[in-house]
Structure 1
Amino acid sequence: MLEVSDVIIDYDPGSLKRKPVKREDAFAKVSGFWPRNIIKKIPHNDGVLNHEAVDKILFNAHCEMQRLWEEFLHGERISVVLRTFIDTLREQKIAPPYRIVDVGCGLGYNIRWLAANNVLDSDVQLVGVDYNDSLIHHAKAIRDIENLSCEFIVGNAFALEEPATVFMSTGVIHHFAAQHLQDFFYKQQQRQPLAFFHFDIQPSWLAPIGSWLFHMARMRSALARYDGYLSARRAHHIEVLAQTARQGAPNYNLIHYGCKIPLLPVIRNMHAIIGIDPCVSEAFLQKLPNPRNLWKKL
């Protein structure tokens, strides 16, 4: 199952140069009237989807995603683990600067939220990275308007020159099929960060129904409605994330953050697979709040 946003834009894996997308190719990668009707309405030039039109649709959808993260208090969620981790590094005498890299940052909401709320000290560098130059352009524009201290880069987060202390992401890992997650974690281990924090929708029996109701009620963009609903259906269970992380990044101690409450899964609608370097793992876990069994070792 692919989301519309997965099939209407494409990049060369080496150069990251944007590639033309034929409308018929996009049609062939999705199934059903709903996604095909969304693609059908995108302007095209001789059967090739118009870049500017695609950029506008994706921008609008990401604006709606930002509203979703605001309503889910996601900034507060990531700030707890990041602040605890950075405090742990200081206590363990690991010298700054510390560099937090948000993988697939889109409009950069996570990075901008952290910068705007002064969650971390000035020796923590906040960097958002995405393939999409249009979204990065908007992220930079918003940053400049809000006068925030953070950086946004068009590129591959795992190929940056400067090393990352932490890799993090939100709503990214469900875009990878299970068979490709091992490589996703492997590429991070190759860069030797001290931790990774990857947040996504918590799959449950209620998630698809709840996601459909929420997105139909709260989202205005057809793409945001469809992709948001499908995200809940595609989200990986922690067993899959743990298995692929162990295979791809065996050097890290793993944690499940946001453990499911079985009878009321909607209460914890987001969860994360966390990997911590063993040199700081126990110290980090001793400091990380654990109300109502919020997290557990894997």
Structure 2
Amino acid sequence: MTTGPTAHQDAVTAEYADLNPLQVRITTHRLYSEHPDNPDATVRERLQVPSDADLLDIGCGTGQFLRDLDHDGHTGQLTGIDTSTEAVRQTATGRVTALNASADNLPFAPGTFDIVTARHMLYHVTDPLQALREAARVLRSGGTFAATVNHASTAPRTHDLVRTVIQDADAAPSTDSPVNAVNSDTLPPLLRQVFGNVTTVRYDNALVFSRPDPLAEFAVALLPFNGIAATDTAYDRLAEKIRARALRWFSDHPGQVWRDPKGWALCSATLTA
């Protein structure tokens, strides 16, 4: 297994070649959070996105954030970029434009957008500081940058379950981790360095599972974050072991729930003249 920037990007590419694991994680957080958890709606509410704002979404993923804006009658330019070809394909619908591009080299002229968002993606980029500088470059004066990012320890019990299964199966990771050190503690100083200001709102929560199936499905969707890509020959075998481990836990703990703390932050900044 190689390491370094290229290996990191290869791991991210492998993770998002198929968006099904991403959709599983999104759905899990929506359905099994202890308190209501909808980062997309929170971003829209906190930013009070004007209907005529030109908005760039970096790391557009499934495209749902931009499609919702389009569906609600947004009249400004809506653009998404992603390194995943599948993400670009799913996002480019209606009035939404989507391009295959990297966060650290945005294909736009300076001052193109009123709002730039980066939702749960900065922990995937090779050079987070360069990505923030690029976001600032394409913003208009007075424009807003907003990013959502997880707490340093999110769903640690489930991640430990996945790591234990991998270790017990003596399965060597096939890729680099697609996650860097950007989290709700480390991002605000980076934003302050680039923009000179930052506002951070934290959202603490937990995942709560009362049965094994959704826990197992979520845990399997975390395998790529632990170096096991969906194309790995060990992937299906490890997925079965995860399902068996989840079933055994609920069998051994009748009437109990699997509670796993999590959280994220919305960090925003304004481009001043």
User: Which band: TM-score by shorter chain?
Assistant: 0.5 to 0.7
More helix by share: 1
Equivalent positions of 1:156-167 (< 5 A) are 156=102, 158-161=106-109, 163-167=112-116
1:171 to 104, 120, 133: 120
Structure 1: 5+ residue runs without aligned partners?
11-53, 90-95, 218-224, 280-298
Shift of residue 255, structure 1, vs aligned partner? 1.4
- Match in the other structure for 2:97: 151
Shift of residue 123, structure 1, vs aligned partner? 1.9
- Whether 2:272 is the aligned partner of 1:272: answer no
Equivalent positions of 1:46-57 (< 5 A) are none
Q: Which amino acid aligns with 1:59?
A: A
Secondary structure of 1:168's partner? strand
Q: Flag the 1:66–1:137 CA change in 2: closer, same or farther, 3 A.
A: same
CA distance in 2, matches of 1:215, 1:86: 40
Q: Flag the 1:176–1:139 CA change in 2: closer, same or farther, 3 A.
A: closer
- Match in the other structure for 2:21: 64
Shift of residue 195, structure 1, vs aligned partner? 1.0
Superimposed CA distance per residue, residues 135-160 of structure 1 (whole angstroms, 9 cap, x where no aligned partner): 423443xx3xxxx4422122356332
Q: Which amino acid aligns with 1:68?
A: R
CA distance in 2, matches of 1:268, 1:203: 9
- Match in the other structure for 1:190: 137
2:189 to 240, 243, 249: 243
CA distance in 1, matches of 2:265, 2:57: 16
Equivalent positions of 1:75-224 (< 5 A) are 76-86=38-48, 97-116=52-71, 118=72, 121-140=73-92, 143=93, 148-156=94-102, 158-161=106-109, 163-176=112-125, 180-193=127-140, 194-204=143-153, 207-213=155-161
Superimposed CA distance per residue, residues 114-148 of structure 1 (whole angstroms, 9 cap, x where no aligned partner): 445x2xx43243221123444423443xx3xxxx4
Which structure has more relative contact order (CA 8 Å, sep 6+)? It is 2
CA distance in 1, matches of 2:266, 2:189: 14
CA distance in 1, matches of 2:69, 2:164: 29
Q: Which runs of 4+ in 1 moved over 4 A?
A: 1-5, 212-217, 259-262, 265-268
Q: Flag the 1:108–1:72 CA change in 2: closer, same or farther, 3 A.
A: same
Check the 8 A contact 1:75/1:110 in 2, yes or no: no
CA distance in 1, matches of 2:183, 2:83: 26
CA distance in 2, matches of 1:75, 1:259: 9
Q: Flag the 1:259–1:278 CA change in 2: closer, same or farther, 3 A.
A: farther
Secondary structure of 1:106's partner? coil
Q: Flag the 1:215–1:77 CA change in 2: closer, same or farther, 3 A.
A: farther
Equivalent positions of 1:8-23 (< 5 A) are none
CA distance in 2, matches of 1:243, 1:226: 33
The alignment's TM-score, normalised by the length of structure 2, stands at 0.57
Secondary structure of 1:71's partner? helix
CA distance in 2, matches of 1:104, 1:130: 5
CA distance in 1, matches of 2:163, 2:91: 23
- Whether 2:10 is the aligned partner of 1:7: answer yes
Check the 8 A contact 1:163/1:191 in 2, yes or no: yes
Check the 8 A contact 1:255/1:274 in 2, yes or no: yes
Q: Flag the 1:169–1:70 CA change in 2: closer, same or farther, 3 A.
A: farther
Q: Which amino acid aligns with 2:158?
A: G
CA distance in 2, matches of 1:214, 1:110: 29
CA distance in 1, matches of 2:9, 2:68: 26
CA distance in 2, matches of 1:80, 1:269: 13
Shift of residue 5, structure 1, vs aligned partner? 6.9
Superimposed CA distance per residue, residues 166-188 of structure 1 (whole angstroms, 9 cap, x where no aligned partner): 111223211246xx332222222
